Amino acid sequence: MKQRLLGRTYIKVSEIGFGGWAIGGNAYGDSYGYTEDDASLAAIQRALALGCTFFDTADAYGYGHSEELLGRALRQRSDVVVATKVGSNFYGEHPVDDFSGSYIRSALEKSRQRLQRDVIDVYQLHNPPKDLLADPRTYEILQQLKAEGRIRAYGVSVFHYDEALAAIEAGQPDVIQLPYNLLNTAAEELFPVAQREGVGIIAREPLASGFLSGKYSVDAKFGPGDFRADLPRQYVQAMVSSAEAFRFLEAGGARTLVQAALRFVLEQEAVSTVITGIKTVAQAEEDLGASDVPPLTPEERRRVRELMGRRP
């Protein structure tokens, strides 16, 4: 497994990381469906054995359950980098967004306990609204926590590159996490700025919520607690059809579609690490194996860009 620097932080991470959303389970909805803890723990252990050193989660994933599982599996290991996120206060009767300094400080303590770590390596604001991202005061609590040694680096997890730009201009985050994949390349607008400012890019959703895995048909059904069950049927069909167009990247068996999709992301120098949602040992082996498969050829890259140009 190859390593990369996480922006200007001097923290080294595996170029493919473990995304912890799915292992939070479907008890509260808004996830990737049913999971089994034993399978999740086995997947984490297999990822470690394959050289994965970067694990990303959020306190909201399974309302702390993802963090708890990572805590059980990783404990106080000093050879891994753990990132988590904050901003959804799920401790009351109904979850509410809360990016106040007092809440962030208290939530960090709970995350540290669940993750069984004295210091959180990377602490990220979890999809805050753009007006907060553009306000320098938003980052004061993160700067304080970093100065106190409770976190090593901080950043934001966002949906759109313009939100990331607002954060860079206002708060100089160490890292930005945002979607980037064969079907969504808008983040490329951000990459030159991130490189110039020394901001590490954590690329998420490299498989476009699983549609680039190649395992779904146009009539795919999703189970309880899987957010994809609420997606419009027309959207699902469009995603599946678009993903199928990239089958040529399997190169006659040299890579799987999953691995090709990850290679596409890794070819961006601005990307420090790409996180992929892993629920099983088999997924850990396929996803992390992308670090060692052949890179895309110039002709494959040309065909990829040609297909992108045809998309509406």
pLDDT of amino acid 76: 81
Closest-CA residue to 220 (of 206, 239, 207, 242): 239
pLDDT of amino acid 312: 44
pLDDT of amino acid 310: 62
pLDDT of amino acid 5: 97
Identify whether 61 is a catalytic site residue: yes
At position 174, the amino acid (one-letter code) is D
Query: Tokens representing 238?
Result: 């469009």
Q: How many other C-beta atoms can be found within 10 angstroms of the C-beta atom of residue 76?
A: 10
By the 8 A CB rule, do 86 and 123 touch? yes
Closest-CA residue to 270 (of 160, 207, 204, 187): 187
List the catalytic residue out of 32, 61, 180, 216.
61
pLDDT of amino acid 308: 83
Closest-CA residue to 273 (of 285, 287, 283): 287
312 residues of the chain, pLDDT tens digit each: 999 999 999 999 999 999 999 999 888 877 888 899 999 999 999 999 999 999 999 999 999 999 999 999 998 899 999 999 999 999 988 889 999 999 999 999 999 999 999 999 999 999 999 999 999 999 999 999 999 999 999 999 999 999 999 999 998 899 999 999 999 999 999 999 999 999 999 999 999 999 999 899 888 888 888 888 889 999 999 999 999 999 999 999 999 999 999 999 999 999 999 999 999 999 999 999 999 999 999 999 999 999 987 654
Domains of the chain (ranges plus CATH)? 12-310 (3.20.20.100)
At position 195, the amino acid (one-letter code) is Q
CA distances 295 to 10, 61, 259, 292, Å, are 26, 33, 10, 9
Ordered alpha helix ranges (H), the chain:
37-49, 65-74, 101-115, 130-133, 140-147, 161-171, 191-197, 233-244, 257-266, 281-288, 298-310
Determine the Cα–Cα distance for residues 99 and 87; give it in Å rounded to an integer.
5
